[in-house]
Amino acid sequence: MYNLKKYYFINKFDKNHLEKLDSKISIIYRNYNIANHENLIIKIKKFCKKRGICFYLANEIKLAIKLNLDGVYLPSFNKNLLVNCIKLKNSFRVIGSAHNIKEINIKLNQGCEEIFLSPVFKIKNNYLGLYGLVNIMKFNPKKTIALGGINQKNIKFLKLFNLHGFAAIDYFDKKKGP
């Protein structure tokens, strides 16, 4: 949509649902409640590779490197700057999320290529809103990805801003593919 890069957060592997999605959507597997999920991640990796989909693992950089994934997603609560000490191959990408200027600076110091700013639209009481997004984008020299509260009605507003893409869960769950 509007040539924006798309990211879909998943917490399980639903092959039937994922097969209905556009292959230009990147997948981020994020499930902090399951330990020892390496076999599941390998299944998702094989599916993504077969379909030509980029696959990122949330918050587990060593496992993402070990399994030769496309990259890692560092959530806003990950403030560890040791990411820069790990030798990465050129094609491995580090992306991450932030809610404010301080967290943007942490993501820059972690070497993130793209920074997800969230929440853009109302999902709870605190959210950036479109004007807040524009103001905070001034402090982000990297590619900006909108995250949070994105749906069929408000996605059209994203094209008005200099965004690189958007990330969502419900948007892809409800839409069953763009």
- pLDDT tens, position by position, 64-93: 999 999 999 999 999 988 776 677 778 899
Task: Please report, rounded to a whole number, the percentage of residues in the chain having pLDDT higher than 70.
Answer: 94
Q: How many domains in the chain?
A: 1
CA angle 55, 153, 53 (to 5 degrees): 15
The CATH number of residue 76's host domain is: 3.20.20.70
* Close Cβ partners of 83 (under 8 Å, ≥ 6 residues apart): 61, 74, 94, 110, 111
H or E element in which residue 129 lies: helix 129-137
Domain that holds residue 143: 5-175
Kindly tell me if the per-residue pLDDT of 178 is higher than 70.
no
- List pLDDT tens digits, range 100-126: 999 999 999 999 999 999 888 877 777
Kindly tell me if the per-residue pLDDT of 173 is higher than 80.
yes
